[in-house]
């Protein structure tokens, strides 16, 4: 895909990865995880396992970028290496569950964590709607400025996170562990369900691949950004959850979407809660902005391949795609719930991501879809080992989850079936 967008360096791409991951998940998931697993220890283990799996995925995606240093993400890799329908399926999933769904989830979380109470006359979900509209308008009309501003905001966000973690660790130093609801180890199904929810918080590790064609030296820069961004995010998640889970008793945190706010109140009262709410609002806002930047590149690539409406391609394709993502995200804001989105997005995105990584075992396409040399000539074995770990872990956790909670697969099945039906209709018409 050709583009006249500015070239992105390593700092911008790392910021894109971090912003894509540190959004709503880390500030909402641990309350549900604590309820499912019964005590803080297994929850921290689940976050560490999720980070390890994501790091393996980042290494594997880096190899995919070396093979095809183009924008388009999962759609591009599956369409070129497997079949156009496989790419179309991934594109539909990316459009709905990959970006519009997470945008809606981040916007809802942003509204829930606002540091100031809203007047009674403001309708519910109105702030979430405005967040989506503002970010959509910014990237549709001011793409270059929005990208640079996003990098600065992510740096500020990380600085604030470090300050809050330091304050939290100082306050809880010497405190006894919080009471747990369970004294026995959690079941494999419950642990798998928790990791699957948590993986949604890591799924943004691949954000930089969607703008690979717009990166400076993409074959070298994008893989580094994926790994660095994933490591930074994993460390941040573990530090934050250590503070959250040691801040208050089990019955205060378990099953709560506003777990971060409840932890802040227990730690240092209303002032600390206000500071943390401001951080969450900032984090989720930048997450929406990040996904508004990367998501439309997939639909633009699909349009230029002729499997998506033509008005999403060409000179104004990115802008039109941003508006399309904005519209769907606003609809989801008014129809979805946070817990419902977590399960659906975690399963659906993890499945497509595992299928994408599996293409490393297929022959590289010749130019213009690929490059002549093999990906990572000196580290091909390491990349494929990382890919194997990622695939086995992802499919294993999904299998255990479905066995434990079969209904979690329903939304994914509907999405795949809908994509197949749309594909058949399109093929008949063409």
The per-residue pLDDT for range 113-134, each reduced to its tens digit, is 888 888 888 888 898 899 899 8
Structural domain span for residue 365? 10-429
The answer to whether residue 231 sits within a structural domain is: yes
In whole angstroms, give the CA distance from residue 29 to residue 99: 18
Q: Which tens digit of pLDDT belongs to each residue from 73-89?
A: 788 888 888 888 888 88
**Tens of pLDDT, residue by residue, the chain (430 residues):** 444 455 778 888 888 888 778 766 787 788 888 888 888 889 999 999 999 999 999 999 999 888 888 777 788 888 888 888 888 888 888 777 777 877 888 888 888 888 888 888 888 889 889 989 988 887 665 555 455 555 666 777 777 788 778 887 887 776 665 656 655 677 777 888 788 778 878 877 888 888 788 888 888 899 999 999 999 999 999 998 888 888 888 888 888 877 888 888 888 788 888 887 887 888 788 778 877 877 777 778 788 777 777 777 766 777 788 888 888 888 888 876 655 666 676 678 888 889 999 988 876 655 444 444 444 444 577 888 999 999 999 888 888 777 777 776 777 888 888 888 888 887 776 6
Any domain includes 1: no
Interatomic CA distance for residues 182 and 178, integer angstroms: 12
Contact 218, 375 (CB under 8 A): no
CA distance 98 to 95: 6
Is there a domain that residue 219 lies in?
Answer: yes
Asked if residue 277 lies in contact with residue 114, where contact means CB atoms within 8 angstroms, the answer is yes
Domain contains 376: yes
- Tell me how far apart the terminal alpha carbons of the chain are, to the nearest angstrom: 23
Query: Distance (Å, rounded) from C-alpha 337 to C-alpha 297?
Result: 27
Residue 49: CB atoms within 10 Å: 17
At 228 the pLDDT is 94
User: What are the tokens at 355?
Assistant: 């299928």
Q: Is 347 exposed, middle or buried (0-12, 13-18, 19+ CB in 10 A)?
A: buried
Distance separating alpha carbons of residues 116 and 270, to the nearest angstrom: 11
Q: What pLDDT, on a 0 to 100 scale, did the predictor assign at position 56?
A: 94
What six digits make up the tokens of 173? 């130093």
Query: For every residue of the chain, which 3-state class applies, written as one string?
Result: CCCCCCCECHHHHHHHHHHHHCCCHHHHHHHHHHHHHCCHHHHHHHHHHHHHHHHHHHHHHHHHHHHCCCCCHHHHHHHHHCCHHHHHHHHHHHHHHHHHHHHHHHHHHHHHCCCCCCCCCCCCCHHHHHHHHHHHHHHHHCHHHHHHHHHHHHHHHHHHHHHHHHHHHHHHCCCCCCCCCCCCCCCHHHHHHHHHHHHHHHHHHHHHHHHHHHECCHHHHHHHHHHHHHHHHHHHHHHHHHHHHCCCCHHHHCCCCCHHHHHHHHHHCHHHHHHHHHHHHHHHHHHHHHHHHHCHHHHHHHHHCCCCCHHHCCCCHHHHHHHHHHHHHHHHHCCCCHHHHHHHHHHHHHHHHHHHHHHHHCCCCCCCCCCCCCCCCCCHHHHHHHHHHHHHHHHHHHHHHHHHCHHHHHHHHHHHHHHHHHHHHHHHHC
Q: Tell me whether residue 189 is exposed, middle or buried, using C-beta atoms within 10 angstroms of its C-beta: 0 to 12, 13 to 18, 19 or more.
A: middle
Q: Is residue 3 part of a domain?
A: no
Total structural domains in the chain?
1
Place of tokens 């179309």: 88
pLDDT at res. 238: 92
CATH of the domain at 163: 1.20.1740.10
CA distance 21 to 116: 25
Q: What angle do CA 213, 218, 223 make, to 5 degrees?
A: 125
pTM reported for the whole predicted model: 0.77
Flag whether 4 is in a domain: no
Structural domain includes residue 55? yes
Other Cβ atoms closer than 10 A to 221: 22
Whether the bond into 140 is cis, omega within 30 of 0: no
Q: What is the pLDDT of residue 4?
A: 46
What's the distance, CA 117 to chain centroid?
28
Supply the pLDDT for residue 151. 63
For residues 311 and 309, what is the distance between their CA atoms, to the nearest angstrom?
Answer: 6
| Residue 5: inside a domain | no
């Amino acid at each position: 895909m050709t583009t006249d967008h500015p070239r992105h360096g390593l700092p911008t791409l790392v910021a894109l990865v971090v912003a894509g991951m540190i959004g709503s998940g880390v500030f909402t998931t641990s309350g549900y995880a604590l309820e499912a697993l019964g005590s803080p220890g297994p929850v921290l283990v689940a976050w560490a396992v999720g980070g390890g799996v994501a790091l393996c995925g980042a290494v594997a995606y880096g190899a995919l970028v070396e093979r095809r240093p183009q924008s388009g993400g999962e759609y591009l890799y599956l369409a070129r290496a497997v079949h156009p329908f496989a790419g179309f399926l991934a594109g539909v999933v990316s459009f709905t569950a990959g970006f519009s769904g997470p945008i809606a989830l981040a916007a809802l979380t942003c509204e829930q964590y606002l540091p100031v109470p809203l007047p009674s006359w403001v309708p519910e979900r109105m702030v979430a709607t405005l967040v989506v509209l503002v970010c959509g308008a910014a990237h549709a009309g001011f793409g270059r400025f929005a990208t640079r501003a996003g990098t600065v905001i992510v740096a500020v966000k990380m600085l604030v996170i470090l300050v809050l973690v330091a304050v939290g660790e100082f306050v809880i130093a010497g405190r006894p562990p919080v009471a747990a609801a369970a004294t026995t180890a959690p079941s494999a199904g419950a642990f798998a369900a928790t990791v699957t929810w948590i993986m949604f918080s890591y799924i943004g590790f691949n954000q930089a691949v969607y703008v690979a064609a717009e990166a400076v030296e993409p074959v070298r820069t994008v893989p580094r950004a994926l790994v660095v961004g994933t490591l930074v995010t994993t460390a941040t998640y573990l530090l934050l959850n250590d503070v959250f889970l040691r801040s208050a008793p089990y019955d205060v945190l378990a099953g709560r979407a506003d777990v971060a706010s409840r932890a802040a109140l227990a730690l240092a009262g209303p002032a600390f809660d206000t500071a943390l709410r401001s951080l969450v609002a900032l984090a989720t806002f930048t997450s929406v902005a990040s996904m508004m930047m990367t998501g439309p590149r997939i639909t633009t690539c699909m349009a230029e391949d002729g499997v998506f409406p033509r008005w999403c391609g060409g000179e104004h394709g990115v802008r039109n795609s941003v508006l399309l993502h904005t519209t769907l995200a606003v609809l989801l804001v008014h129809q979805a719930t946070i817990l419902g989105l977590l399960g659906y997005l975690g399963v659906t995105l993890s499945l497509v991501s595992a299928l994408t990584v599996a293409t490393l075992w297929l022959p590289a396409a010749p130019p213009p879809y690929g490059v002549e040399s093999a990906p990572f000539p000196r580290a091909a074995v390491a990349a494929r080992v990382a890919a194997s770990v990622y695939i086995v872990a992802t499919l294993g956790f999904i299998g255990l989850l479905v066995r434990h909670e079969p209904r979690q697969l329903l939304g994914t099945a509907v999405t795949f079936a809908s994509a197949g039906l749309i594909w058949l209709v399109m093929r008949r018409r063409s």
